[in-house]
Amino acid sequence: MQSLEKSPDFSRQVQSMFGAVAPKYDFLNGLLSAGRDRYWRKKAVNLLAPKSGGRYLDVATGTADIAIEMARRNPAELTVMGIDFSGPMLEMGKRKVRTNHLESSIFLQMGSGEHLPFADNSFHGVTCAFGIRNFSDAQAGLNEMFRVLKDKGKVIILEFSQPTNPVFGSMYSLYFNFLLPQVGRKISRHNSAYDYLPESVSKFPTRTDFQHLMESAGFTSVTFRDLTFGIVTLYLGCKNA
């Protein structure tokens, strides 16, 4: 099984990269996914099924899209904590929270996914969308998600994958590895951020290997399902369910 542990400088480099692209991040997400990013997030929150009165955590929240999607379901009766290691990304997220008038439901703070600043058994559900791939130690991050989750709670992880269909996979590879980085570089004006994306996806474990990593963290009833021809995969795990 492929290791998810990275070099000591990895977090600093990725943190700097996300800080640099933060102003164009949301625009590029929509453009480069042809708007499918919203569909993927809705599917993740549907699977989580947040309940009124619940307390939820979005790890690697970025610009808070998942947190906002959750809070919109029950804006007066839901608490969502969002944590991310990029200050500029969080500032963008805070603006969006204010624009959507969700300040009473969503609370964003800086922090590391590998060292969550929350007590054991704090949340009814945990999400992480397109973030686990960027952890310096994803197994440690999974262990932390399990720790802060309440009994019977669910974790939902959304992450890019390699398409399994060989014909579609070949066409998508041309886009993902060549066209996407060029467009990303031109719009974000960052030389390496969108080269990092396909590189990091290619190094991410297979679906079954990542399922085993979730099980190693303690999660049970771990399942996964592909979305949009396997461009992304949605993982579900439970705590003591």
| Structure confidence at residue 6 (pLDDT) | 62
2: pLDDT strictly greater than 80: no
Alpha-carbon gap, residue 220 to 52, rounded angstroms: 24
Q: What is the pTM of this model?
A: 0.91
CATH topology of domain 10-164+204-238: Rossmann fold (3.40.50)
Indicate the SS3 state at residue 224.
Answer: strand
User: Worst-scoring range by mean pLDDT, 140-154, 161-175, 188-202?
Assistant: 188-202
Alpha-carbon gap, residue 201 to 224, rounded angstroms: 17
- pLDDT per residue as tens digits for the range 32-65: 888 999 999 999 999 999 999 999 999 999 999 9
pLDDT band at residue 118 using 50, 70 and 90 as cut-offs: very high
